[in-house]
Amino acid sequence: MAKVEFVLPDVGEGLEEGEIVSWLVAPGDTVARDQPLVEVQTDKALVELPSPVAGQIVSLAFAAGDIVKVGQILVVLEDSRSGDPAPHSPPPATSLATDPPSASASPGGAPAARPKAAPAVRKLALDRGVDLATITGSGPGGRILATDVEAAAAPAPATGVPDHGIGAVRNAGSAAGPSGEIGWMEPGRHPLRGIRRVTAEAMARSWSEIPHLTTLDEIDAAGLLAARRRLADAGIDTTIGALLVAAVARGLRRYPVFNASLEGTSEDSGGTIVVHPDCNIGLAVATADGLVVPVIRQADRRPLADLAAEVRRLTTAARNRRVGVAELRGGTFTISNWGAIGGRYATPLIRPPEVGIMGFGAIEQRPFVIDGEVKARPTLPWSLSADHRLIDGDVSTAFSEYVTGLLADPITLLAELLADGTPGAPGS
């Protein structure tokens, strides 16, 4: 039988490396063709890499937590077919947007059903030393939940400083902490892995490379809330988040310099300004493992109902780690909504190579001046960070005034959205 060396393929645009999150097989296992072998965290998403052949696992070249370069050998397999080895071309990676029909080897060589569990639950099981095959899931269809893993986990050691894995960091909504609170971490040393490592690298690059210009203020959101209520009364299901995306998208169309990126900038070269034809807005979504930014493509060209549905779909998929790799690519501007957890002001950091990011706080009753009098009004805080290498204060102010003007008095925005979903000319 021929041996097959399976290398890390480029599963993204310009991918250089990936992190081994967990192995789904072990040396000696018998695998089927296209059976998932390993979960790899790239700078975009968590993906499963399937086996190129049916056969037996000879050796694994890396351990969980290792960083692997594209083209390096991941695993060596023994092809069960006779004759010449198959061409050396790795199969496409499988995004965790759906549950693949995978299997694990049984002692007799016949594949058995792989336990049903989300990627975050698989990582939690790895951290806790729990074999998913020994657990009966309490979720729909027998799916194993985080609470099932915690119940099956052995008690933590009473002494010593633990060395935790990737799943130790948990944000809002996680079941891993004692109360699922934001910012919970166990005492001890924690490797910087997974989405947190990717985020750390991106933010360090943002802070070191981009001179940030940040402005912030708040608007009276009474008109925005009234618009949403009227839409609901008319049978149009939308969210404040969708209206935020719609307003920002029209701001990008009105001021295309914000829908741009900088390439090849250095001391020796002036670089290139790339103004993108499509307004592809990324949504920063908090997950149990860190921020994930799915992208709404052509956000300025979508009818309101379609835009609202896409915001809901991508937000839910990101939180459940079911967003596809392609849905994380190609963003031209980012929106962050820390108001979802009650925040007011922040200074968001730009995601290279983009040149802007706009964030929104929580709508709450606050003092606001109306006709010379201070009154309690529902106000929406906002912050805009711009790349000062390309965008000056006058342009930043014009963009933010335009976007917040649409939100404070959304008649123009709604008229365009409800007409036929087709945007007008820039500056209209």
Q: Which residues are tagged catalytic?
A: 388
Burial letters for 244-262: b for 16+ Cβ neighbours within 10 Å, e otherwise? bbbbbbbbbbbbebbbbbb
Close Cβ partners of 129 (under 8 Å, ≥ 6 residues apart)? 153, 154
d(CA 9, CA 69) in angstroms, rounded, equals 9
Contact 194, 287 (CB under 8 A): no
Nearest to 214 by CA among 367, 87, 75, 382: 382
- Structure token pair of residue 153: 């986990």
Rounded distance between C-alpha atoms, residue 219 and residue 377, angstroms:
9
Q: Within 10 Å of residue 335's Cβ, how many Cβ atoms?
A: 24
Contact in structure between 236 and 304 (CB atoms under 8 Å): yes
Residue 245: closest CA among 358, 400, 356: 358
- Treating both helix axes as pointing N-terminal to C-terminal, what angle do 222-233 and 393-408 enclose, rounded to 10 degrees? 40
- The radius of gyration of the chain from alpha carbons, rounded to an integer in Å, stands at 24
Dist. CA 126–CA 115, nearest whole Å: 14
CB atoms within 10 A of CB 1: 14
CB atoms within 10 A of CB 233: 8
425 burial (CB, 10 Å; 0-12 / 13-18 / 19+) is exposed
Tokens found for residue 267: 């001391």
Give the pair of three-digit tokens for residue 53: 């052949």
Q: Which residues contact 102 (CB under 8 A, 6 or more apart)?
A: 24, 35, 36, 48, 114
Residue 286, beta-bridge partner list: 291
Cβ neighbors of 22 (< 8 A, separation 6 or more) are 38, 39, 64, 122, 123, 126
CA 284 to chain CA mean position, Å: 7
CA–CA separation, 10 and 291 (whole Å)? 22
